[in-house]
Structure 1
């Protein structure tokens, strides 16, 4: 395009600077259009419309601007002799290059946008799960307090000495709840110690009418983890829904089968004033799904009630 013989050295330098300026104007103009269109058209929801608008916008900007700047170049550096074939070919090449670069630019943007959306979705999902888990944990306290105060009230009237012992043991049990409610998982060893402390409260009130049979190898206690306050909820559930006495005690058994704790009791249904909300069992099931991605299994018949709790083995 440049007839070097007809131009001075400075004119040649200015000519190259001008062509660089053409590239800069076309680049910055298209870049501005790309960013502007992103706020109006979404690749994910309306990809076809975005492609059509993008191609038309780029074409209506790049073609006339390129042709105009090339004509000006001819006026400045070629004595006003315009070669329209060269302008048409050059404009077409510029347009193809712009489309190619735009394609790469938008592909990179889409990949980053997809990764960003995925990360945001994961963060929102985690925040939702954490909020749900915290809400479920907070349901433990009122439920536990309500049942404990009822028991303490009963003992104060019937046996003040046992009421005092119950109060002391209750403090130890509640301390465990406060220390561990924020944790998602605890060692099975810790949970079993807590269960024994909790069951001692039941023994104060019911004596031989309730019995706990733990058929676990103590060597397993430090090999597994479990959501805190899981076993206490199941024992409390059994106490709440069954009739028992010294003559016919309620026996709750706990054993391990294939990385699952099996908690079982015979059913002798208690007649309740109103239907149970099953908040404790539902709470436990939801906490299990959120913290371990596993589900508890409940098997109920007319004579037996069994809950299987998956436990996580420490690697």
Structure 2
């Protein structure tokens, strides 16, 4: 505990002590003198500072050993045991000083009769104050953790969104650069073909502009675009390049990142030579949930080292959208890229931050409501049970009926604690998970 916190706690306890000592002094039927008030002030200060600072030190010590958010069960168990032991010791010590040493009560009467009830009442009252302190610490920790989680998720979302936008912005210059290279080659070889290529390129570029801002597109959309692009390439290379598409209607319903096929087709043309006698054969098919682009390897030397922008772009975009990896296989005979086909459309960057923030907020709000209910129950128990014992003691001390509501309500509080701090919930979740796994196994057997 730092010095600033000690000063703050001491000042708060001083204010509490002033209020308590004034109330006791006003209620007391004895003489209203300065000396008598100072005595009440000192006795009240002994209780207030011993119990208040003791519980404050215990709370800080437990906070340094256990995290409320990550070790809730351990922190709760340690708090219950530590608070019980500490407050019993402190209350008995303060009461002994007050009643035996200051007021001159006999040592034998201290552990029985009225003084024993006073000891029990003071212990319950101090436990109530300690429980409120632990509850406050827990709620502050949960609030801090929820805020931190929201901030972290916002930063992750902003970073990922910026990265995704940067990757998508690479598509425009990359496509334009490669297309202009092809056009440049055609202008000298075949001007009329270059004109048709220009018209076709404008249609394809329109698709590029429409799709580049999307996180995902259907396989069908991508295949249709790829076929148009292949027709454009075949216009230039004629029979030097062949294309084979084998995609079922069911596979076309899946999703891939946009313009991935176009980038891979460009790479195949760029890195391999193609002639009529040795054509470049490009196959596009689906296998084991992956869209595969494969070509026979006829590698040629490039004047400049490849930057790898196209393939790296695809890998990076998939990394931002899914845990499934893009696989690249290369042998002496072929080069193959496997793109994962996703079964559902993922709105990765545009909805990430609000949903995470809302989820964190709802989780924290639900947890706080559970805690408020439990600590409300605990505080009511600590307040009303001593009150019932007081009534029992004043009305019928020969029969202690107050033990029955204490026992019944105590069981209810314990059950509430198990549920609130997850002791019971873990068992329920394990049973539900076990049952679901069993059902899945049965389903697999029938299939």
TM-score with structure 2 setting the length: 0.55
In structure 2, the partner of 1:165 is 196
In structure 2, the partner of 1:257 is 287
In structure 2, the partner of 1:280 is 310
In structure 2, the partner of 1:304 is 334
Q: Secondary structure at the match of 2:153?
A: helix
Q: 1:53 and 1:210 mapped to 2: Cα distance? A: 79
| CA drift at 1:73 | 5.1
| CA drift at 1:63 | 3.6
| CA drift at 1:67 | 3.5
| CA drift at 1:289 | 0.9
| CA drift at 1:304 | 1.4
Residue 271 of structure 2 contacts residue 300 of structure 2 at CA under 8 Å; is this kept in 1?
A: yes
Give 1 or 2: higher helix fraction.
2
Moved more, 81-90 or 181-190: 81-90
Q: 1:93 and 1:187 mapped to 2: Cα distance? A: 70
In structure 1, the partner of 2:216 is 185
Q: 1:91 and 1:211 mapped to 2: Cα distance? A: 89
- Can you give the 5+ residue segments of structure 1 that lack an aligned partner in the other structure? 1-50
Residue 284 of structure 2 contacts residue 294 of structure 2 at CA under 8 Å; is this kept in 1?
A: yes
| CA drift at 1:89 | 6.2
Distance 1:64 1:282, change over 3 A: same
In structure 2, the partner of 1:232 is 262
Give 1 or 2: higher strand fraction.
1
Q: 2:8 and 2:257 mapped to 1: Cα distance? A: 58
Q: Secondary structure at the match of 1:306?
A: strand
Answering whether residue 48 of structure 2 is matched by residue 87 of structure 1, we say no
Alpha-carbon displacement from aligned partner over 1:190-221 (angstroms, at most 9, x marks no partner): 00110011111111111111111112223431
Please show how residues 107-122 of structure 1 align to structure 2 within 5 Å: 107-122=138-153
Q: 2:322 and 2:23 mapped to 1: Cα distance? A: 70
Q: Secondary structure at the match of 2:275?
A: coil
| CA drift at 1:53 | 5.3
In structure 1, the partner of 2:324 is 294
In structure 2, the partner of 1:130 is 161
The structure 2 residue matched to 1:271, chosen from 276, 294, 301, is 301
The structure 1 residue matched to 2:174, chosen from 114, 132, 143, is 143
Residue 259 of structure 1 contacts residue 313 of structure 1 at CA under 8 Å; is this kept in 2?
A: no
| CA drift at 1:305 | 0.6
Q: 2:282 and 2:3 mapped to 1: Cα distance? A: 70
- Can you give the 5+ residue segments of structure 2 that lack an aligned partner in the other structure? 53-125, 346-447
The structure 2 residue matched to 1:62, chosen from 3, 9, 12, is 12
Q: 1:53 and 1:225 mapped to 2: Cα distance? A: 60
Answering whether residue 245 of structure 2 is matched by residue 214 of structure 1, we say yes
Alignment length (residue pairs): 264
| CA drift at 1:260 | 0.6
| CA drift at 1:240 | 0.5
| CA drift at 1:155 | 1.4
Alpha-carbon displacement from aligned partner over 1:167-198 (angstroms, at most 9, x marks no partner): 11111111111111111011111001100111
Q: 2:272 and 2:24 mapped to 1: Cα distance? A: 99
In structure 1, the partner of 2:77 is none
